[in-house]
Structure 1
Amino acid sequence: MPLTIPVILGSVRADRAGIRAARFLIGQLEARGHAAPLVDPAELKFPLLDRMYKEYPKGEAPEPMERLATLFREADAFVVVSAEYNHSIPPALSNTLDHFLEEYFWRPSAICCYSAGQYGGVRAAMQLRAMLAELGTPSIPSLLPIPRIQKALSEAGEPAEDWLGRAAKKFLDELTWYAEALQAKRAGGTPY
């Protein structure tokens, strides 16, 4: 069954490597028949959080925020692509995520983390896992860490290493299972 799984990119740097991972995962999700729109904070240009989406009077939120809220409400799951900045998540990712709340509820998330070094961003992923749970989109148990991203993926998101395709398959199989399970439960109602 086709799902809608936005891929939320976390970096706005001019030379960001995370776009490689986002392109890779979008391709993998689309090959499965899922819709995987890119959520790019560099394009959204949200201001630093002052008002959450829900704090705007109905119909008065800025257009990019309204569009993203609609996408998130239609989503079955989320993939979050995060760099590691100073052992933490990028500020652009936190800012993008923090603008919403109820739109995430009862949907799973999955974390793809990356770095230029050997650890693949896992220190940021641990903080992101806690944040996503608090937002109401708990992450699946598996991570997809990509060490040395500049060597692992081309600019177009093509993997240069065989392990990446196998790891992504397992990662997305798990996310799909959780997304379908929670989709069925949401259809029957939620606790609140």
Structure 2
Amino acid sequence: MSLVIPVILGSVRSDRQGIRAARFLIARLEERGHEAPLVDPAELKLPILDRMYKEYPKGGAPAVLEDLAGLLRRSDAFLVVSAEYNHSIPPALSNTLDHFLEEYSWRPSGICCYSAGQYGGVRAAMQLRAMLAELGTSSIPSLLPIPRIGKALDEAGTPAEEWLGKAAGRFLDELVWYAEALKAQRAGGTPY
């Protein structure tokens, strides 16, 4: 079953490393036959949240929000790539996610976290889990942490270490399983 799984990148820094992880995961999802569009806040240039998408009159939201809402609504799952800033998630990621709500409902999410150090961003992932659940896209049990991202992946997203390909394979197997299960359930209706 082909799925739509946007890869939502969290950092807008000029020297950001997360783009490596996003490229790696997009390639892996596409190899499996899934559509994996990149949602990049550096390209979207969303305004700082003043009004959620749903708070605009129908058809009155800025075009960038209308387009992103359309992508989110046709998605089967979300894969969030997050750095760790001060033991938390990047502000650009929070801003991107916070513009929407119902568009995430009844779809799973997966968290790939990373850092320059040895912990791979897992402290941010714990806070992101709570946020994603509140948005209606609970994260799958597994994480894909990438420590020392600058050495683990090159600029193109090619892994330099064998463990990363294996770990990503298991992580994506789990995300796809949840996405297929919830897609089948959504086809029969949702509780509300």
TM norm. shorter chain > 0.5: yes
Matched residue type, 1:149:
I
How far apart, in 2, do the equivalents of 1:57 and 1:154 lie? 44
2-side partners of 1:33 and 1:63: how far apart? 29
TM-score normalized by the length of structure 1: 1.00
1:65 matched to 2:34 = no
- Partner AA of 1:137 in structure 2: T
Q: Distance in 2 between matches of 1:153 and 1:60?
A: 41
Task: Give distance in 2, aligned partners of 1:5 and 1:61.
Answer: 23
| Structure 1 runs, 4 residues or longer, greater than 4 Å off | none
Match of 1:51 in 2: 51
Q: Does 1:101 align with 2:68?
A: no
CA distance in 1, matches of 2:182, 2:49: 29
1:12-65 superposed Cα distances (whole Å, 9 cap, x missing partner)? 000000000000000000000000000000011111100000000011111111
Partner-residue secondary structure (3-state), 1:143: strand
Q: What code does the residue aligned with 1:28 have?
A: R
**What amino acid does structure 2 have at the position aligned with 1:157?**
G
- Looking at structure 2, the residues matched to 31 and 62 of structure 1 have their Cα atoms a distance apart, in angstroms, of 33
Counterpart CA distance in 2 for 1:149 and 1:42 is 19
Structure 2, unaligned runs of 5 or more: none
Alignment map for 1:32-181 (pairs within 5 Å): 32-181=32-181
Unaligned 5+ segments in structure 1 are none
Q: CA deviation at 1:190?
A: 0.3
Q: Aligned pair 1:185/2:162, yes or no?
A: no
Give the structure 1 partner of residue 3 of structure 2: 3
Letter in 2 for 1:66: E
- CA distance in 2 between partners of 1:66 and 1:36 (Å): 19
CA RMSD of aligned residues (A): 0.3
Q: Distance in 1 between matches of 2:60 and 2:34?
A: 31
Report % sequence identity. 83
SS of residue matched to 1:36: coil
Size of the alignment, in residue pairs?
A: 192
Could you tell me how far apart the structure 2 residues matched to 1:64 and 1:11 are?
18
Normalised by the length of structure 2, the TM-score is: 1.00
